[in-house]
């Protein structure tokens, strides 16, 4: 059983941490079709195992996890309930069901099911960790610390309770303890992506020199995730390191060419800092092609054209920004200014 679950975990990691996608459509389609086929194969294997061992809850949990990864939450929930039915005396089945309820924002059901796990095993670290997540949503921070500490009492090397405590401290404005908790989470798990992100965010607030290194650690863990690249790029942009910032935005676009905020920020750098107005207009065109309702992109493309002396084209873009947002004061002022230039 352990071997099967290990294979399943490796498969899920393969789906979520894929290599850089191909730029041509046919390559992307082939990759997605291959991924779907692998998932179907996993479900098929699990179904065959369940036929041989229908009372094994871990098989249903494994199947539920595949459906959850595929965002088929209804099917994931059904399989989780089958796991509980197969063995209602195993705390792990209740914990898994609780997480699915939690992810579906059904907090009341999530709390009740994790209580069932704690009734079976009052010292269960996974159940206490799950309860800490629930109380974090409910903003009952004393209960968050109580359950996180209960989990750590059972196993002081668990990263997740420290991470949850860090989030609670952050929400309460205690940044010193938040940083300490997030650092401890990374000490227990050097690949804790979210903890590295939180450390980067907290240090960026005070422009700490370690900010970039924290984001770099997150990128080391998952270079395909846009969040670390975007946060690092935005921080570098605010530090006046424009070339380095654009390298981070380009890293995002290599994996997700539809992430229009990366184009938008590149456009802003070209427009306001590098005075490359053709390049700025091109970036905002990319934003508009992806998100035609982005009135800010129309205005900024208009500003780029205005500064490049293309007043008629600039006015057309500013008018489109006003069509999308009639009360857009910045666009109204730009329109008045451009019309004044055209009259002179």
pLDDT score, position 40: 60
Q: What's residue 154's pLDDT?
A: 87
Q: Tokens 């907290």 identify what position?
A: 202
Which tens digits make up the pLDDT trace of 98-126? 999 999 999 999 999 999 999 999 999 99
User: What secondary structure letter does DSSP report for 90?
Assistant: -
Question: What is the DSSP code (8-state) at residue 258?
Answer: T
* Assigned token pair, 197: 């992100």
C-alpha R_g of the chain: 25
State the Cα angle at 111 between 106 and 115, rounded to 5°: 150
Query: Which pLDDT belongs to residue 23?
Result: 26
- pLDDT for the residue numbered 178: 98
What is the full DSSP assignment across 14-47?
HHHT--PPPSSHHHHHHHHHHHHHHHHHHHHHHH
Average pLDDT, the chain: 90
Two structure tokens written together for 41? 């194969």
pLDDT in tens, 231-269: 999 999 999 999 999 999 999 999 999 999 999 999 999
d(CA 55, CA 71): 25
The whole-angstrom separation of Cα 333 and Cα 25 is 42
Closest CA to 170 of 147, 211, 203, 210: 203
User: What confidence category does residue 38 fall into, taking pLDDT thresholds of 50, 70 and 90?
Assistant: low
Q: What percent of the chain has pLDDT over 90?
A: 87
pLDDT at 44 over 50: yes
CB neighbours of 44 closer than 8 A, spacing ≥ 6? none
Q: How confident is the model at residue 43 (pLDDT cuts 50, 70, 90)?
A: very high
pTM of the model: 0.83
| Spatial separation of the C-alpha atoms in residues 229 and 210, rounded to whole Å | 15
Task: Identify the pLDDT of residue 71.
Answer: 92
319: enclosing H helix or E strand = helix 311-324
Alpha-carbon gap, residue 187 to 173, rounded angstroms: 23
SS3 324: helix
Measure the CA angle with vertex 131, ends 130 and 136; round to 5°: 100
Query: Could you read off the pLDDT of 53-107 as tens digits, one per residue?
Result: 999 999 999 999 999 999 999 999 999 999 999 999 999 999 999 999 999 999 9
Query: Which two tokens mark 286?
Result: 């990319």
> Is residue 344 very low, low, confident or very high in pLDDT (cuts 50, 70, 90)?
confident
Confidence of residue 140 (pLDDT cuts 50, 70, 90): very high
pLDDT tens by residue, 296-337? 999 999 999 999 999 999 999 999 999 999 999 999 999 999
Annotate 106-163 with DSSP letters as a single string.
-HHHHHHHHHHHHHH-TT-HHHHHHHHHHHHHTT-HHHHHHHHHHHHHH-TT-HHHHH
Place of tokens 């249903």: 60
CB of 295 within 8 A of CB of 319? no
Tell me the pLDDT tens digit for each residue of 278-301. Answer: 999 999 999 999 999 999 999 999
**Are 298 and 318 a contacting pair, CB within 8 Å?**
yes
pLDDT band at 12 (very low <50, low <70, confident <90, very high): very low
């Amino acid at each position: 059983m352990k071997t099967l679950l290990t294979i399943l975990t490796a498969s899920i990691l393969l789906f979520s941490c894929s290599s850089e996608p191909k730029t041509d459509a046919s390559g992307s389609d082939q990759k997605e079709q291959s991924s779907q086929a692998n998932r179907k194969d996993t479900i098929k294997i699990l179904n065959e195992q369940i036929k041989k061992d229908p009372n094994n809850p871990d098989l249903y949990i494994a199947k539920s996890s595949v459906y959850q990864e595929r965002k088929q939450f209804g099917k994931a929930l059904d399989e989780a309930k089958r796991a509980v039915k197969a063995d209602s005396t195993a705390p792990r089945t209740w914990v898994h069901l609780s997480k699915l309820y939690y992810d579906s924002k059904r907090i009341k059901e999530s709390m009740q099911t994790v209580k069932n796990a704690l009734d079976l095993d009052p010292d269960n670290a996974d159940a206490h960790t799950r309860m800490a997540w629930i109380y974090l949503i409910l903003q009952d921070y004393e209960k968050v610390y109580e359950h996180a500490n209960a989990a750590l009492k059972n196993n002081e090397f668990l990263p997740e309770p420290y991470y949850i405590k860090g989030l609670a401290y952050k929400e309460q404005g205690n940044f010193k303890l938040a940083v300490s908790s997030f650092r401890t989470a990374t000490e227990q798990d050097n690949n804790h992506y979210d903890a590295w992100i939180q450390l980067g965010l907290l240090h960026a607030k005070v422009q700490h020199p370690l900010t970039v290194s924290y984001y770099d650690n997150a990128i080391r863990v998952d270079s395909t995730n846009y969040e670390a690249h975007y946060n690092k790029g935005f921080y570098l942009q605010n530090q006046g390191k424009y070339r380095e910032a654009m390298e981070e935005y380009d890293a995002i676009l290599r994996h997700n060419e539809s992430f229009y905020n990366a184009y938008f920020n590149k456009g802003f750098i070209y427009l306001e800092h590098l005075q490359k107005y053709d390049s700025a207009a091109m970036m905002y065109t990319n934003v508009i092609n992806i998100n035609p309702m982005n009135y800010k992109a129309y205005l900024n493309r208009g500003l780029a054209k205005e500064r490049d002396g293309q007043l008629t084209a600039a006015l057309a873009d500013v008018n489109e920004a006003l069509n999308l947002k009639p009360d857009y004061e910045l666009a109204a002022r730009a329109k008045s200014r451009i019309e004044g230039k055209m009259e002179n």
